[in-house]
Amino acid sequence: MKAATFKLCLPIIAMTAQQTAAALIIPPFLQSLDYPVSAIGSLISLAPVLSLAARLPSGLIYRSERARMLMLATLAVMTLCTFLYSVAAQPLYFALVQAFFGFAYGAATTIYLAFFVDALPSDEDRHHALGYYTGCLAVGYSAGGFAAGYVADKLGYAATFRFASLLGLLCIALFFILRPSPSRRTATDARKEETAQTVLASLKSLLDPGMATIVVVALFLNLLHQLGNSFFPLYGLAVGLSLTQVGSIRALYSLCNAVTRPFSGTVVKRLGHWKLSRAGLPLQSALLMLIPFFHDFVPLVIVFLLVGFIRAVVIVANAISMVEDVDSTRVSRGVISGIYNAAGDLGNILGPSAGGLIAAFTGITLLFVVAPLIAVALFFFSLWLCRFADRSVRLGHS
């Protein structure tokens, strides 16, 4: 990794660690204030919904020359909100803080992904760079969760929120001292970036065949991820695993993601991002379908390590598709980043809700057979729709 790329990766670690540290302790913090479970769920859901709402607007206003200003503004809001969590005990105040934090986090991650791609050194291998980027996301999630749990056990919830706000200040400091290297953007690209895309034009960009496929992969990839995250603890307890064992399996799964992603660029470059983006998701679904056949700790660890490995490779492959397969002169870099992240947010929202609906009919055990099968069927149907829409558009122009 080049030094310039390494500097670009540091803020994303601090940013995701801050978000994870806050998110981890919000449920027990609200429970300690005697909030009912229904209210806790509603308040938690505000952040991902507002994050989703921020994706397209932040992508529309993104320009490479104003990225620093936008990032400092969004990071400042995130840091202030993280600190205010500790004093926002009333439901209305907490809801406002949660909403502002979610919107700022959605905007910051959208803008930073576009900035990261634009600021890569001209001689940097993008396959490797995007592997490092997605790997840093996983490192931030793992580090933030571990640190927040330790601080909360030792010092309490309020101190943990303040610790997380210090991570926000660290992220601001890291971003402030960044000096982007010359990027691959040409003068023509820069002039075209000046032409602001309207909301309608941005929505039409979903019809771009490359963009549509990336959206489908990102959506179903996160849907499967949240399906496992949300319902495996219930399955584990049902088959006799302890909470410690369930937590260890999830930690190893996250660690596999963090370790694999930085090196996935080489695998993707050798096998091709197009093939891996499409073949990886059915394979991940097949692995999830193995879960009901195992009740012991070690076999389930192996299954989740394999799932984590496949997920890491597909994430990197899809991120590379976002950069390589979508013409940034037709769809601006900011809009590409916004749509890409919004698709992931939508998958995060749909995974638990769809899984809960299916589990109500099948039970937790059969959920891991039925839900992946439905996901794969819908995935291939969505890819077919993308190809059909692309052919229709081409015939209409001919």
Rounded-to-integer distance, Cα 329 and Cα 25, Å: 42
**371: its two tokens:** 């839900």
Contact (Cβ atoms closer than 8 angstroms) between residue 55 and residue 110: yes
Residue 293 gets which letter from DSSP?
A: G
* 203: its two tokens: 């929505």
pLDDT tens figures, 297-353: 999 999 999 998 898 888 888 888 777 766 666 666 677 777 778 888 888 778 877
Q: What is the pLDDT of residue 188?
A: 44
Q: What is the pLDDT of residues 112-142, one digit of tens each?
A: 888 888 888 777 777 778 778 877 887 887 7
pLDDT, tens digit (0-9, with 9 covering 90-100), for 82-118: 999 988 888 899 999 999 999 999 999 888 888 888 8
Q: pLDDT value at position 195? A: 44
Burial environment of residue 388 by CB neighbours within 10 A (0 to 12, 13 to 18, 19 or more): exposed
pLDDT of residue 206: 55
- Residue 288: which pLDDT band, with cuts at 50, 70 and 90? very high
Question: Tell me, what's the pLDDT at 104?
Answer: 95
User: Taking 70 as the threshold, does the pLDDT of residue 182 lie above it?
Assistant: no
Q: What one-letter code names the amino acid at 87?
A: V
pLDDT greater than 70 at residue 232: yes
Tell me the Ramachandran region of residue 179: left when phi exceeds 0, alpha when psi lies from -120 to 50, beta otherwise. Answer: beta
Q: Which residue has the higher pLDDT, 73 or 56?
A: 73
Mean pLDDT of 182-199: 46
What mean pLDDT value characterizes the chain?
80
Position with higher pLDDT, 258 vs 69: 69
Instruction: Pick 279 or 283 by higher pLDDT.
Output: 283
Q: Which residue has the higher pLDDT, 156 or 183?
A: 156
Out of 6-15, 236-245, 319-328, 366-375, pick the least confident.
319-328
Phi-psi region of 183 (alpha: psi -120 to 50; beta: other; left: phi over 0): beta
| 375 in Cβ contact with 354 (< 8 Å) | no
Cβ atoms of 281 and 220 within 8 Å: the answer is yes
Residue 201, pLDDT > 70, answer no
Read off the pLDDT band of 164 (50, 70, 90): very high
User: Confidence class of residue 153 from pLDDT cuts 50, 70 and 90?
Assistant: confident
